[in-house]
A and B are shown apart, each in its own frame.
Chain A
């Protein structure tokens, strides 16, 4: 099992009557970048906290780097980097002081600290901002500092809990590049997110809903397994009449408006293009374009949710 970074086996966490994590099992191999996708309150944070030994599981067990989270948390923590949902920065401390503080907590020798701080600041792209107070940084920079803090002790595994929430798209993309650079250096990364587009970046993916792990696999695999039928994109006139007609058709699983076009999912083997044209003609709509569409993770999510 040494090659496994995380093995979760039937993890359950209840808070009173509320079940935050319900029988969750998965495993992450070393070197993987795994996404953990789900809406707010679906149990992602609780799972991460269970893996860090911050919470005790109600039932089930998990090992991280081969060590049991219930009894070996203190041995796991020095080898794992954790970035909590609220970036745990001291706003009244500078970038340098924040990094040095956590470096000290991980027991880096005092003589090594200043050098390590410089390296880290460069690594996460904060060079030149070392003397700004953390409270003065914008969202994207704060997120980078938080990542720097999580990596201060060169961990083998990084658990990042919604690192990109509340950050603009450019900063999100830059942050994902950073995650991949870190992974290439050999670290295993588990990232939770509620952004579908981010989940596409991951080698493998888990999808959480109401405490249950609905699916686990590579994005392409999940799309193939969960989404049946075909996806079509079309424009028609009048658009809203076309939408109503498609939604009333039994062979259509899902039809919705996306900007100036409609996105339609039909059952497999239902005749696809021909069917759609027939339905729209009957409704008195003129089809101006009709092309096959790509399956997205959103479709996967919706299919799983149904």
Chain B
């Protein structure tokens, strides 16, 4: 037999959501907008960095070096400069993000068997771009250097079999995301981000709204049980959470071609577990905030650190130890590992059980704590 009290609350909550264009927009437009923003814009793939080249040598050798940079996808030779001031100006204005300066004696020194030096300058104002460009520039330079030494050896007649080949070759193979596409990494994590952001705010404000408008008083005097009120109010947001999860997942597959390697049902079940923690947080906030505005600000206060410490934007491995420890307290951190694991690596419970266990502990603690704080009284 269905519980009429619970059913009434769920029905009422759905009607209110559907009639409120703001909530609806937040619920369905926000995930799509975020998906596009993060999928396209927030990519850390560094490609086609504009490069200014000042080639003072203009020999066959120097052209060959410039070609090596041009051939790599990382750089685009955008400007041919004639003096140092011009290189500086291009970088200052941001037209070029890097500069390659080849000295006049480059070709001659190579021919003489000496060491030739080239200068590579990088605009370090954006550390992400600079880091990748620096690594790429160094690698290209080293490869070119190795090639030049081999040529030099060959010229000296030391062409013993095998000597003309590099002694060590590291063959790298990237698993799970062979092309290192950022979208593959970002889109699944977006599920966690949206659930965290949306459900905490929506549940907190939905409950506080009752208090703000005085309807909570009328609810309390009915025979409804606390759990019925809480479950009834949260149910629609669980449904919204699942709809958004599926929406992002499919939009990610269709628009960004994100491969879903793991089990979608498992992902949904574990999303449900994560939802318990965010809804619990929303419920908890609703017990301390008395106006919707307060609830929004409090939700932000919890959401922002959670997102920054979750490893969504910045890799956890790069954080100071204390922040890494703090991040263990963030359910989103665990969920991101789960969602990326399932979508990218195609792993299941056998690999994810520690994260699932951590989430389960948080779910019990947060929901339990919030439920204890929520009573049917005004004082």
Point out residues on A near B: beta carbons under 8 Å.
Answer: 15, 49, 52-56, 74, 77-78, 80, 82, 84-86, 88-93, 97, 100-110, 149
Contact = CB atoms under 8 A, between A and B. Distances in A.
Interface stretch (B163-171, B216-224, B324-332): B216-224
Contact of B378 (A55, A86, A90, A110): A55
B223 A105 contact: yes
Given A101-B11, A104-B8, A90 B221 contact: no
Contacts of B12: 90, 93, 97, 101
A109 B215 contact: no
Contacts of A80: 221
Centre residue among B16, B222, B377, B379 by max chain A CB count within 10 A: B222
B4 A104 contact: yes
Interface pairs A-B: 7 shortest CB-CB: A104-B8, A88-B218, A86-B214, A105-B222, A88-B215, A82-B221, A78-B223
Contacts of A86: 213-214, 217
Contacts of A101: 8-9, 11-12
B23 to A, nearest CB: 11
Nearest to A97: B15
A104 B223 contact: no
Interface size class on chain B is 20 to 34
A104 B214 contact: no
Contacts of A55: 377-379
A108 B7 CA distance: 12
Contacts of A49: 217, 378
Nearest to A55: B379
Given A52-B221, A93-B15, A84 B377 contact: no
Contacts of A149: 218
Contacts of B19: 92
Given A93-B12, A93-B15, A105 B214 contact: no
Contacts of A74: 223
Nearest to A98: B12
Nearest to B7: A104
Given A74-B223, A92-B19, A101-B8, 9 more contacts: A54-B220, A55-B379, A78-B223, A90-B16, A93-B15, A104-B9, A106-B223, A108-B4, A149-B218
Nearest to A15: B379
A110 B7 contact: yes
A52 B8 CA distance: 22
Given A56-B377, A90-B12, A84 B218 contact: yes
B378 A92 contact: no
Interface of B: 2, 4-5, 7-9, 11-12, 15-16, 19-20, 213-215, 217-224, 377-379
28 contacts: A15-B379, A52-B221, A53-B377, A54-B220, A54-B221, A54-B377, A74-B223, A77-B223, A82-B221, A86-B213, A86-B214, A86-B217, A88-B214, A88-B218, A90-B12, A92-B19, A92-B20, A93-B15, A101-B8, A101-B11, A101-B12, A104-B5, A104-B7, A106-B222, A107-B5, A108-B4, A110-B2, A110-B4
A226 B9 CA distance: 50
Contacts of A105: 5, 8-9, 219, 222-224
Contacts of B8: 100-105
B120 to A, nearest CB: 63
A121 B4 CA distance: 21
A99 to B, nearest CB: 11
A197 B87 CA distance: 90
A82 B213 CA distance: 16
Nearest to A102: B222
A113 B216 CA distance: 22
Contacts of A102: 8, 218, 222
Contacts of A90: 12, 16, 215
A109 to B, nearest CB: 7
Nearest to A78: B223
Nearest to B214: A86
Contact of B16 (A84, A85, A92): A92
B284 to A, nearest CB: 22
Nearest to A92: B19
A107 B378 contact: no
Nearest to A88: B218
Given A74-B223, A77-B221, A105-B223, A84 B214 contact: yes
Contacts of A77: 221-223
A74 B7 CA distance: 20
Contacts of A15: 379
A44 to B, nearest CB: 15
B41 to A, nearest CB: 36
Nearest to B17: A92
Contacts of A54: 217, 220-221, 377-379
Nearest to B223: A78
A56 B7 contact: no
Contacts of A100: 8
Contacts of B214: 84-86, 88
Contacts of B221: 52, 54, 77, 80, 82
B16 A56 contact: no
A152 to B, nearest CB: 9
Contacts of B219: 88, 105
A18 B379 CA distance: 14
A92 B9 CA distance: 14
